[in-house]
Structure 1
Amino acid sequence: MLEKTNKFFCYENIYDAMLEGYALFAILRDENNQPCDYQFLEVNKQFEVLTGILRSETIEKTLKQVLNVSDENWVNIHNSLQKEEGIVQFEYCFEISNRYFQVSAFHPSNETVITLFLETTAQKKTEEALKIHRILFENAQDIILYINLEGQIVDSNQRAQEKYGYTKEQLLSKKIQDIRHPSMIADYKEQMQQAEIKGIVFEGLHVRSDGSSFPVEVSARGVNTEQGPLRIHIIRDITKRKEQEAKITWLARYDALTSIQNRGSLIMQLEQEIQRSVRNGAQFAVMLFDIDRFKYINDHYGHEAGDVVLRHVATKVQKVLRATDQIGRLGGDEFVVLQTDVKELDDAIQLVKRIHTAAAEPITYNGTPISVSISAGISQFPGDAKDTDSLLFRADKAMYVAKNSGGGGYSFFTLGGISFIGN
C-alpha cells in the first residue's frame, strides 16, 4: 500500500475545503496485470457529506465493496477510467442515497486514480421533470400552445397539429391571430391583457388549415420562461359540448316526437302575441285540434303507428301555415295553431279548412292505409278572451262541440255560446 505521505492523497485541509467530493483510488490488477477494481486510499469530508458514506467505511475497501456497484455500472466506470490521457467525465448515481453526480477522473500515475464528485441531483431531477413535462405536453388531449407577447407561436403539441391540420413547422410560422376566427378579432387585445395579468378562460372559434372552424374553450395565462415572458394557451375543442347544449336548448323549446314547438314554447309565443296585439290593436285566432279516434289507432295498430300519425299531422299542417303563424303540441294528440293578424272571421275559416285537408292526406303504416281526421275549436283575441289560459280553455270547449258532433269539423267559441260551423 502507498504511504500516507504521498502528495496525491495526503488528507490535508486543502482537500476538506474543496466543494467537490474528493476520492483517491489505487488501481488493483489481476494476474494478467489488467485493472480489476479500485481501492479507496483517501476521501475528503465533502465526499462524506455528498455520498453519506463515512471515511472509515471506505479506506482500504474497493469500489465494488463500498458502492455496491452493479456489473453494468462497473463496466461503464471501468471503461471510462481506462482512458490514459486527460480528464474523463461521466455521470454516476449513488444507489445508496439515490443522488446523481458528475464525476471527473484522471490518472496522476499508473498506480492511482483521482476522482472529483460534483452533485447534479437537482439538475438531473429538473431534466427528468422536463422529460416528463414533454411527454405529458405531447400526449395531452387538449391543444397546448406557447405564444410570445407578439402573438407568435413558439411551441405546440401533437394535438395542436392534429386539430388544426398543420405540421409543427407550419404552426411555428404562425401567430395566434392566424388561427382565431375573424369574429374574435375585436376581443383579442383585451383577452391577452387579462391572460398576462391574472389568466382568463373564454370561448370562441378557431380555424383549421382547410378553412373550417370549430368552437373552443381557451384557458390562457402568462408564464415566465428562460425564453422570456410567454403565454400558455390550453385549448379544448368543445364541439361535442356545443352540440349537447344545442340539443338541450332545442328540447327545451320543441317536441321531441314531432319537432314542432312544445307546450311551454307555444304558450310563451301566445303571451308574446297578446302583448304585440295589444300594442298594435291587432287580432289573432287560437285553433286547438286533436285527432279523431286516436285511441283506436293506438289500440288497433300499435303505439308506433300512433307516433307515425302524430308526426304526419304535424308535418302536413305546418306546411299550410304562413311564416308568422305558429304550431305546437300541447300533449298527447292535441295541437294548437296560433294564427296572427286575423282581419275577419273568414281568415280563420280558410285556415282551419286547409288544416283539415292537410291532416287528411293519405298515410300508410306497414302497408296498411290509416284514415286521419281532426276536430278543431277556435277562439279569438280579444273578442273571446284576453289571456292565454282563457283563450286555450275556450278553444278547447269549442273543439269538443265539433268532436261531439261527429268529428272532422270545427267550431268557434262565442261569448253567447259555442257556434258550430261545420267541416
Structure 2
Amino acid sequence: MTAPDPLEHSARAKELPGDIATEFDDVGLVLRRWQAACIDGALPPYEELALGSVGRFADEMAVVRLHPGKDSFILRAGPRFSAIAGLSEPAAVLSVLPFAFQRAISGAIDLARPAARPRLALCRSIVDGMVSTVEVLALPLSCRWPGEYFLIFARPRKSQIDLARLLINSTDEGILALSALESVGGETRDYQVLSINNAAARLLGVSAEDMRFRLLSQASAACGLSRLLDECGVARAHGVAAPSLELEYQLGGETVSLQVGVAETDGLLAVTLTDIREIRNRETLFRSLFDDNPVPMYVRQADGGAFLNVNTAALNLYGRGRGEFLALGIADLEPDVAGLPASGERFVRHRTAAGSELDVIEYARNIQVGSAPATLSTIVDITERKRAEDRISFLAHHDPLTGVGNRTTFSQEIEEAVTTAVAGHQPFALLLVDLDDFKAVNDTLGHAAGDSLLIETADRIRKLLRRSDLVARLGGDEFAILLRGALSRADVETLAKRIIQAISEPHAYEGHKLSIGASLGAAIAPADARDAGTLLKCADLALYRSKRDGKGAFHFFEPEMDAEMRDRRELEFELRCADLDRELELHYQPIISVKTGALRGFEALVRWRNPRRGMVSPAEFIPLAEETGMIEAIGRWVLDEACRRASTWPEDLVIAVNASAVQFRQGQFAETISQAVARSGLDPSRLEIEITESVLLADTGANLAVLQRLKEIGVRIALDDFGTGYSSMSYLRRFPFSRLKIDRSFVRDIGSSRESMAIVRAIIGLGANLGIDTTAEGVETGAQLELLRQERCGEIQGFLFSPPVDGTGAAEIIASYRGNEVQVA
C-alpha cells in the first residue's frame, strides 16, 4: 500500500465544487448538500448532515470524532464503508484500520480542517495483483459535543491497473509466444506469432499489432531467429545440447545482438529476446522491480527448490528475515508439496513463520540465473478474499445480525422437512417466536439496544435447541424454529416455556437492564398441515392467539383458530358495506394550553358503531380500512364531519384530524381537504392535519409537494408520534411544521425513565429552537403534567382532563371553558 495522494487529477476525474477531483459524478450531490447546510458561513451541524441529509450515501460514509489527547474514533460506519475499510464492527478507533486507509482519512482531515471545507485524499492498495484506488472525502461538521467531527465518504474507483501486465510490458526484454507449423514431412516450416510484446517488436523492427497471429518469416529481421529455433528443435529431437542461443543481425544500419531463450510446451514456444548490450541496465532494472515490488516475489532453484533471492514484500508476508528465508526450501513454505511446483499459475496454501496458513496464487516462470535454470515466483495473497467469499456465502444463508438462519434458509429447510414428514418418515414441529415490548426498547434506547437484544435472544434460543434443530430470523423481532423428530406435544410445550423463560430474563446493555418477553405459536407437520404454506399459516394463527392473550403466552394451532380469521374477513365485508353516515361517529379529545389553561381545540377521533357488533375499536377497523382501500372514503367522511362540527365552535378553537399514510399518498389528498374546508366554511387555519413520521418515507419530493400544497390552502400540519422511529431533521428544516406531537409512550414513562425524560426534553427544546409548538399526548397524572410544565411544553391532551367525548360532550366542554379557564400550574 502507498500513502494517500491528495487531490490527484486523473484523465477520468471530474472537476466538482470545492476543487474536488473525483471519478464519480454523484459525489457532487454530497458536496452540494454540505454546502447547502452551511448557514452564515458556519459548518453544517452534525445532527443535520450526519443524521438526515446524506440519504443514499449513508452506506458509504462514517462519522469520525477527533478529541485532544484521545484516539480518533469512528462513531458509526455504513456497511459499504465497513466492507471497504475491513471493519468488523460499525464503531472503532481509527487506528484499527489498515495503515494506508487510516493515513488517507487522516490526510483528508488534515486538509479539510484548516480549509473548513471538504477535501479529498486517495488511498492506493494492491488487491489480487491489481492496483486499486479508494477516494476518501472528508467533510467537516460542527457539533455541540466536545471534539471535532468529520463525515468521511469512501468509494473505490472502478478503474484498476493490472500490475502483472504492466510489469511485462514495461520490460525491455522481448517476449514472443510461437506455434510451430509443420510441413507434410513433419519438419517445421514456419512459426505463427501468438503473442509479442512491445520490446520484441522493437527488436525485430516490426509492429506488435501487425505481427500478432502472422508468420514469423514475414519479419525480415526474424530470419535468423527462425533458423535458430529450427536448430533448437532438431537438437531437442535428437536429445543433444542446443547450439549457442545468440543471434546477430542488421536492423536500420545497426548491428543487433540478442540472447535468445526458448521454452517448449506441447508444440508452443516461449521465446525471450535479450539485447546483450543493455544486459547490465536490464539487470539493474530487474533488481529494482524485484526488490522494491510491493508484490511478494522469490527466486528458487529449478531442481532443488532452494531459494536464491527474495524481495522485502515476501519477507513481510511470511514473517521471516532474509537470511532465515534463504536457508529454507520450498517444502518449508508448502509442507504438502508433491514434487517441485511447475511454471504457470496455481492455487496453493503456504505457511508463515508464525505457523498461520495463507491462501495464495503463485505465478511461476522459468528463468536463468547465470547459466542455471531457476524459477521466478510472484505470490498474490488471497487469504482475505477467500474469507470475504466465505463471509458472502455465510450471509447468503444466515441473518447478518444474529448469525442464525435467514428467511431463505428457513424456506428451503421447511420445504424439505414437510416433504419428509408427508412421506411418513419424520414429523416435526414449527414454532414462531415474536418478542413482546421490543418496540419500546427501540423507541427509548435506540436501534443499537434493539440489535443487542436480538443478538442475545437468538443466542439464548440456540442454546436450548439440539444440533438437528434450526432457528431462523424471519425479520424484525420474529424468529422461527424447526424441531425435527417425533417430539410429543408435551415436549414441544416444555421447550416453548423454557424459551419464554430464557428470553424474559433481564438483558444487560450499557448499564441498563432490559426486560422483554416472547409469545410463541406452534404447529405440527403433517398433523396440522401437509404443505409449508399452510403449516406457516397454522403456526401464525397460534402465535396470533398468544399475542392476543397477553405477553409470554404459548399456544398450539387449533382448528377453531380458522374461525377467528373468518370473523376478521366478515368484519372486512361489513366495513365495505357500512353506511358511513349512519355508522361512523366522531369523538373529540380536548387540547389544553399548559401556560394559560385555555382550551385550544380538539383532536377528532373516528368511531364505528357496527349494527351487529356494537362499538368496534379503531385498532381493529382502521388497519382493515387501510388494507382494503376503504380508508379514503372514511378519511373524506371524517374531514367533512370534523370541519362541519368545528365551524359551529368559537373561532379561536382548532380541530386536529389524523391522516393515514394511504390517504397522504393518494394523489387527491390536498384537494379532498380543500373541498372539506370549502363545504363547511371553516377557516383553513383552524384545521390541523396530523401525519406520522412514516408517511414521509416513501417519496421525498412528492411528500414535500403535498405538504406545500396544504400550506398554500392555509391548513396547519402537525408531525404526530414524533421521535418514535424515523424522524428526519431535514424535514424540519425544509418544511415549517405547525406542531410536534410527543408520543404517549414517552410521556407515560417520564417520571420513571431517564431516557424518556431526555427524549421529551429534547423534542420540546427542538420545537422551541425551530419555533414549532409541541403537544404531549396521553397525560394521565398530575406528576406528568408538572414535569411537562417545567419543561415548558406548549399543549397537552389526555385522560387527566378528559377522554374523547361525542359532539354533545365537546359542546359541554367548550361551554365550561368559556371565561373559566382551568389552571394547570
Does the alignment reach a TM-score above 0.5?
yes
Q: 295, 315, 333: which is aligned to 1:179?
A: 333
Match 1:138 to one of 285, 288, 291: 291
CA distance in 1, matches of 2:319, 2:510: 48
Distance of 1:263 and 1:181 partners within structure 2: 42
d(CA) in 2 for partners of 1:419, 1:316: 34
Q: 1:311 to 1:220 in 2, by over 3 A?
A: same
Could you tell me which residue of structure 2 aligns to residue 220 of structure 1?
364
CA distance in 1, matches of 2:463, 2:563: 28
Give runs of aligned pairs for residues 210-289 of structure 1, distance below 5 A. Answer: 210-224=354-368, 226-275=370-419, 277=421, 281-289=425-433
SS of the equivalent of 2:557 reads strand
Report the Cα offset of residue 256 of structure 1: 2.3
| Structure 1 residue 245, shift from structure 2 partner | 2.3
Deviations 1:55-112 (A, max 9, x none): xxxxxxxxxxxxxxxxxxxxxxxxxxxxxxxxxxxxxxxxxxxxxxxxxxxxxxxxxx
Distance 2:321 2:437 in 1: 65
Displaced runs of 4 or more, over 6 A = none
Q: Kindly indicate whether residue 312 of structure 2 is the aligned counterpart of residue 158 of structure 1.
A: yes
Find the partner of 1:192 among 341, 349, 360.
341
- Cα deviation for residue 324 of structure 1 reads 1.8
The offset of 1:224, in angstroms, is 5.0
Is residue 2:504 matched to residue 1:387? no
Partner amino acid, structure 1, of 2:547? K
- Residue type of the alignment partner of 2:312: Q
- Deviation of residue 158 (structure 1)? 2.3
Q: Would the alpha carbon gap of residues 368 and 211 (structure 1) be closer, same or farther in structure 2, given more than 3 Å must change? A: closer
CA distance in 2, matches of 1:222, 1:393: 66
What do residues 256-284 of structure 1 show as CA deviations (whole Å, max 9, x unaligned)?
22222222223233334345556771111
Task: Point out which structure has higher relative CO (alpha carbons under 8 A, 6+ apart).
Answer: 1
- Larger radius of gyration between Structure 1 and Structure 2: 1
Query: Pick from 282, 286, 290: which aligns with 1:129?
Result: 282
What CA deviation, in whole Å up to 9, does each residue of 1:157-191 have, x standing for no partner?
22223333334344333321221043xx3xx34x8
Contact 2:422/2:530 (8 A) holds in 1:
no
Q: Is 2:345–2:361's contact at 8 Å kept on the other side of the alignment? A: no
Distance 2:512 2:432 in 1: 28
Question: Which of 287, 291, 295 is matched with 2:435 structurally?
Answer: 291
Q: 1:334 aligns with which of 473, 478, 492?
A: 478
The CA distance in 1 between the partners of 2:555 and 2:368, in whole Å, is 77
Relative to structure 1, the CA distance from residue 264 to residue 358 in structure 2 (aligned partners, 3 Å threshold; closer, same or farther) is same
2:319 alignment partner AA: G
Q: Which amino acid aligns with 2:308?
A: V
Q: TM-score, normalised by structure 2?
A: 0.33
**Aligned residue pairs, count:** 294
Please, what TM-score do these two structures have when normalized by structure 1?
0.62
SS at match of 1:192: coil
* Residue among 450, 462, 467 paired with 1:306: 450
Contact 2:298 2:307 in 1 (8 A): yes
How far apart in 2 are the matches of 1:240 and 1:253?
A: 20
Cα drift, residue 407 of structure 1:
3.1
Q: In the superposition, relative to structure 1, how do residues 223 and 347 fare at CA in structure 2: closer, same or farther (>3 Å)?
A: same
For 1:314, give the aligned amino acid. Answer: A
Matching residue's letter, 2:334: R
Query: Could you list the per-position Cα deviations for residues 359-405 of structure 1 after superposition, in whole angstroms to 9, with x for gaps in the alignment?
Result: 11012445444331111111112222233333223211211111112
Gaps of 5+ in 1: 1-120
1:201 corresponds to: 346
The offset of 1:255, in angstroms, is 1.8
Cα separation, partners in 2 of 1:144 and 1:276, compared to 1, 3 Å:
farther
Conserved 8 A contact 2:506-2:515: yes
Q: 1:399 to 1:292 in 2, by over 3 A?
A: same
What amino acid does structure 2 have at the position aligned with 1:294?
F
Structure 2 letter corresponding to 1:131:
T
Q: 1:231 to 1:368 in 2, by over 3 A?
A: closer
CA–CA separation in structure 1 for the residues paired with 2:510 and 2:499: 25
Deviations 1:266-310 (A, max 9, x none): 323333434555677111111011112333332344333322322
Give the aligned residue type for 2:433: F
Query: 1: CA distance between counterparts of 2:423 and 2:376?
Result: 54
**Residue ranges of structure 2 left out of the alignment (5+ in a row):** 1-273, 565-825
